[in-house]
């Protein structure tokens, strides 16, 4: 209990003392996570809609891979991205390994299947009769999509929140592809792991409170948007 | 009299099974056409084809004498029709939003939408529900919203797929009474699918009986009900056996209107 209180005190102290490194780490964490989830949503939402509303050859197999991807171990994702970006790898010339971009790539790899699969599940539950009714109301294809997205807003935000939960908690892949380089690729989760390994539990605990606050803040905003204008 | 919508040599197949096989079928301007038949007879499929919501496997669908290629109507034509299904399938939003949606999709101005929604809500007696979430309505209220949503676009033809079947008896009667008055005043052509003889008898002036994907008999409603042919007799007789339970008397085969008076008025 004493350790917890010390950690909380340390967190408050670190925030209010204006520790530049803590701010830099927190800012990078926020930036990397938001960019990852934004890209995952921009790809995962249309992909999920396509998988949920249409039928094509190989759809089930594709969906199977997406669902397997939901349980993709971060170290495996990290390994793949590392191999992809390794000097002799296919994208080695881009020299992106050990950069924030590499962390973003790894985080997209772990969150994209979640956003896609949960979006697909939501859209698959739309009955043929509902689609028929919307068509009969005189909707164009684009208008139909807009109506469905609005109707499934809660499920879509839940998919985004689940994806965000995965990226904010991610540490294995970020460590592997980012390298936890001070002032460059150090994010909150990788710093916590490092501080624990050094035995600095108070700093690790303080950083964990900051990480929780960031997660809470983003999730609160998403929940607000999800639940907005719900009429009873 | 030229038909408004005409189906010629239509077949509709699901996989290899023939759901519909109709050499000819017409919907005339201003009529209230009933389509009746047992479950799985192809009533709803016929309705969807006539409303240009499905495309036939073969055959032609004509609108005012003009063939619509592949039954694939352009948006402007599709928007001249409206449909109300058995399940009200309302959207998550206010009753106002639900009724307004057809006009919103047609990009009608907000002031006109407001005016029209108020008018149709009043006609269906649901003005007090305007701000309520449509998903939390009772069955009767939801169907009123459903019908108002279908009527607000002032369709050339209103297609109804068993909109009253899930309602309890008193709610159904009240809504049918109100609806009949509204549709007669608006002089809207309507096509009404049902497997309920009482609903058909009360609302429609022409009736087509469909069995196993084929139109077995059609004509003025009282005539079809009073003089079923060999193909429709067994189906209608089942209803005639059941009818006294509603009226408290034997089914008056010679005068169905009396049933309407006893049960609905």
Interface predicted TM-score of the whole assembly (ipTM), two decimals: 0.83
Q: What is the pLDDT of residues A66-125, one digit of tens each?
A: 999 999 999 999 999 999 999 999 999 999 999 999 999 999 999 999 999 999 999 999
Q: Find the length of chain A.
A: 232
d(CA A32, CA A72): 19
From chain A, pick out residues whose CB is under 8 angstroms from the CB of B92.
150-151
Summary mean pLDDT of chain B: 87
Closest chain B residue to A130 measured between Cα atoms?
Answer: B89
Does the beta-carbon distance from B89 to A136 stay under 8 Å?
no
Query: What would the mean pLDDT of A30-50 be, rounded to a whole number?
Result: 97
Please determine, for residue A218, whether its predicted confidence score (pLDDT) is greater than 70: yes
> For residue B149, which residues of chain A lie inside 8 Å, CB to CB?
137
Q: Do A232 and B89 touch (CB under 8 A)?
A: no
| pLDDT at residue B206 tops 70 | yes
Mean pLDDT of B193-219: 92
Residue B140's domain comprises 3-264
Give the tens place of pLDDT for each residue, B156-199: 999 999 998 888 888 889 899 999 999 999 999 999 999 888 89
3-state secondary structure of B216: strand
Cβ–Cβ contact B118 with A under 8 A: no
Q: Cβ contact (<8 Å) for B136 and A136?
A: no
Q: Where are the domains of chain A?
A: 27-185
Report pLDDT for A231: 59
Mean pLDDT of chain A: 93
For A1, counting Cβ atoms within 10 Å of its Cβ (0-12 exposed, 13-18 middle, 19+ buried), the class is: exposed
Count how many domains chain B has.
Answer: 1
| The pLDDT value given to residue A232 | 57
Q: Where are the alpha helices (DSSP H) in B106-247?
A: 110-123, 139-151, 169-186, 197-203, 221-226, 233-242, 244-247
Question: In the prediction, which pLDDT does B172 show?
Answer: 87
- Closest CB to B89: pick one of A129, A150, A232: A129
Output the domain CATH number for residue B145: 3.40.50.300
User: Is B10 within 8 Å of B210 (Cβ atoms)?
Assistant: no
Instruction: Judge whether B48 is closer than 8 Å to chain A, CB to CB.
Output: yes
**Which overall architecture, per CATH, does domain A27-185 show?**
Orthogonal Bundle (1.10)
**Chain B residues touching residue A145 (CB < 8 angstroms):** none
B8 band by pLDDT with thresholds 50, 70 and 90: very high
Q: Which residues of B touch A130 (CB under 8 A)?
A: 89
3-state secondary structure of B83: strand
- Kindly state the tokens that stand for A12: 């408050």
Sequence-separated contacts (24+) of B74-77 with Cβ below 8 Å: B75/A138, B75/A140, B77/B52
Q: How far apart are CA B265 and CA B258, in angstroms?
A: 10
Q: What is the mean pLDDT of residues B225-232?
A: 87
pLDDT band at B265 (very low <50, low <70, confident <90, very high): very low
Residues of chain A in contact with residue B51, where contact means CB-CB under 8 angstroms, are 136
Q: Please state the φ and ψ torsions of residue B30, each to the nearest 5 degrees.
A: 85, -5
Predicted confidence (pLDDT) at residue A179 exceeds the cutoff of 90: yes
Q: Which of A129, A137, A150 sits opposite B105 (nearest CB)?
A: A137
CA distance B35 to chain A (A): 19
Residue B251 pLDDT: 34
Interface size A-B, in CB pairs within 8 Å, comes to 50
Does the pLDDT of residue A230 top 90, yes or no?
Answer: no
On whether any CB of chain B is under 8 Å from the CB of A131, the answer is no
pTM comes to 0.84
Question: Is residue B16 scored above 60 in pLDDT?
Answer: yes
Which of B13-17, B106-110, B218-222 shows the lowest mean pLDDT across its residues? B13-17
**pLDDT (mean) for B146-163:** 94
Mean pLDDT of A154-159: 96
Mean pLDDT of B21-49: 93
> Is B83 in contact with A133 (Cβ distance < 8 A)?
yes
Query: Is the pLDDT score of A46 beyond 80?
Result: yes
CB contact (8 A) between residue A135 and residue B82:
no
User: Of B50, B84, B89, B154, which to mutate for an interface test with A (greatest number of A Cβ within 10 Å)?
Assistant: B89
């Amino acid at each position: 209990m004493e350790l917890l209180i010390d950690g909380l005190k340390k967190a408050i102290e670190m925030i209010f003392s204006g520790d530049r490194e803590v701010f830099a780490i927190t800012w990078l964490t926020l930036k990397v996570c938001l960019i990852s989830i934004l890209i995952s949503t921009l790809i995962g939402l249309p992909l999920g809609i396509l998988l949920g509303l249409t039928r094509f050859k190989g759809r089930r197999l594709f969906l199977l891979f997406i669902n397997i991807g939901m349980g993709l171990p971060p170290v495996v994702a990290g390994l793949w991205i590392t191999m992809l970006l390794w000097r002799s790898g296919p994208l080695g010339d881009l020299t992106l390994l050990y950069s924030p971009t590499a962390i973003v790539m790894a985080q997209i790899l772990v969150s994209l299947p979640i956003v896609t699969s949960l979006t697909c599940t939501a859209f698959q539950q739309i009955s043929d009769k509902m689609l028929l009714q919307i068509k009969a109301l005189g909707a164009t294809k684009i208008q139909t999509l807009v109506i469905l997205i609005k109707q499934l807003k809660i499920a879509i935000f839940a998919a985004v929140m689940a994806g965000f939960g995965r990226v904010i908690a991610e540490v294995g892949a970020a460590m592997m592809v980012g390298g936890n380089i001070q002032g460059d690729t150090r994010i909150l989760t990788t710093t916590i792991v490092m501080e624990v390994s050094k035995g600095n539990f108070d700093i690790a605990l303080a950083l964990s409170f900051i990480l929780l606050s960031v997660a809470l803040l983003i999730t609160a905003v998403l929940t607000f948007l999800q639940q907005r204008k719900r009429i009873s | 009299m030229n038909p408004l919508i005409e189906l010629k040599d239509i077949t509709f197949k699901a996989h290899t099974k023939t759901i519909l096989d109709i050499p000819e079928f017409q919907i005339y301007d201003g009529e209230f056409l009933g389509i009746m038949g047992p479950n799985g007879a192809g009533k709803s499929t016929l309705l969807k084809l006539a409303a240009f919501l499905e495309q036939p496997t073969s055959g032609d669908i004509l609108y005012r004498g003009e063939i619509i290629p592949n039954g694939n109507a352009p948006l402007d034509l599709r928007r001249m029709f409206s449909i109300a299904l058995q399940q009200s399938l309302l959207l998550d939003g206010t009753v106002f939003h639900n009724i307004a949606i057809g006009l919103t999709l047609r990009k009608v101005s907000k002031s006109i939408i407001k005016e029209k929604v108020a008018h149709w809500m009043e006609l269906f007696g649901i003005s007090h529900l305007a701000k309520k979430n449509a998903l939390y309505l009772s069955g009767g209220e939801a169907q009123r919203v459903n019908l108002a949503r279908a009527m607000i676009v002032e369709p050339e033809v209103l297609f109804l797929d068993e909109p009253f079947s899930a309602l309890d008896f008193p709610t159904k009667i009240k809504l049918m009474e109100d609806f009949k008055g509204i549709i007669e005043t608006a002089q809207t052509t309507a096509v009404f699918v049902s497997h309920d003889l009482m609903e058909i008898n009360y609302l429609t002036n022409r009736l087509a009986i469909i069995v196993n994907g084929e139109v077995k008999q059609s004509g003025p409603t009282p005539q079809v009900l009073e003089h079923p042919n060999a193909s429709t007799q067994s189906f209608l007789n089942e209803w005639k056996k059941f009818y006294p339970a509603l009226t408290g008397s034997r089914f008056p085969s010679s005068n169905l209107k009396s049933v309407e008076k006893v049960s609905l008025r």
